[in-house]
Structure 1
Amino acid sequence: EIVKYAKGHGSLNGCPYINPESLAAKGFTETALAKVEKHLPSVFEIGFALNKLTVGTDFIVKELGFDEEEVNAYDFDLLEALGFSKLEIASANDYVCGTMTIEGAPFLKHEHYPVFDCANKCGKKGTRFIRSTAHIKMMAAAQPFISGAISKTINLPNSASVEDMKDAYMQSWKLGIKANALYRDGSKLSQPLNSVSDEDVEAIIEEKEKNDIVKVAEKIIHRYIAKRRRLPDRRSGYTQKAKINGQSVYIRTGEYDNGQIGEIFIDMHREGAAFRSLLNCFAISISLGMQHGVPLEEFADAFVFTRFEPSGIVTGNDKIKMATSVIDYIFRELAVTYLGRNDLSHVEPSEIKSKASPGIVKTLAEPEFESEEIVSERLVELDKNNIDSYETKLSAGKPNPSQQSVMAEEKAELNSKVKQAIEKGYTGDLCPECQSMTMVRNGTCLKCMTCGSTSGCS
Structure 2
Amino acid sequence: MRIQSRHPASAPCVAPREIERPNAVVEVLAPEDWTDARVEAWLDWAAERNDGIFDPEAPLGGGPARYADAVAKTGLSDGVFGDAADADAFRDALLATMLTGVASPVGTPAAAQRLPDIAEIEFKPAVEGHLARWRSARLAARAAARLDGALAQVGDAVQRCHGDAKACADPTKNSALGRAARRARDLGADDRMILDAIALAGAPRTGLIDADASAPSSLVATASRQGVAAVDEAASFAAQIGWETSALILALSPEDADALAKDAPVRAAIDVTAFQHDDAFDSAGFNQVVGLWATALEIERGDRPAEIGLAGVGDWLLVQGLSAAGDAGRDAASALWALTVGAAMSASAETAAALGADPAFTQERQGVLRGLAERRVRAAALRSPLASEAAAALAVAHGLARKHGLRSSRLVAAFADPEAALRLGGKTLGHAAGAAPISTAQTADGLLVPIFSAAAHTCLNEAGAELDAARRHAMGYGSLAESPAIDHMVLQVRGFTAHEIEQAEDALRHAASLRAAFAPSVIGAGFLSDVLGVPAEALADPEFDTLAFAGFSEAEIEAAERHALGARRLSDCEALEGELRALFAALETPALADRLAMIAAVETFTCLAVPAVLDTPFDARPADAARLQAAAARAGVRALRLNRAAPPPGFALSLPEPEAEAPRPVRAEAPAAEAPPVQVKERIVERVVERVVERGGRARRKLPDRRKGYIQKAAVGGHKVYLHTGEYEDGEVGEIFIDMHKEGAAFRSLMNNFAIAVSLGLQHGVPLDEFVDAYVFTKFEPAGPVTGNDSIKSATSILDYIFRELGVSYLGRDDLANADPGEFNADGLGRGEGVEDGAAEAEPLPASKFISRGFSRGAAPDNLVFLPFGGRRDEQPRPAGASGDVCPACGDLALSRKGGLVVCDSCGTQANGGPQGESDAG
Which range, TM-score by smaller chain? 0.3 to 0.5
* TM-score of the superposed pair, with normalisation by structure 1: 0.36
* TM-score of the superposed pair, with normalisation by structure 2: 0.19
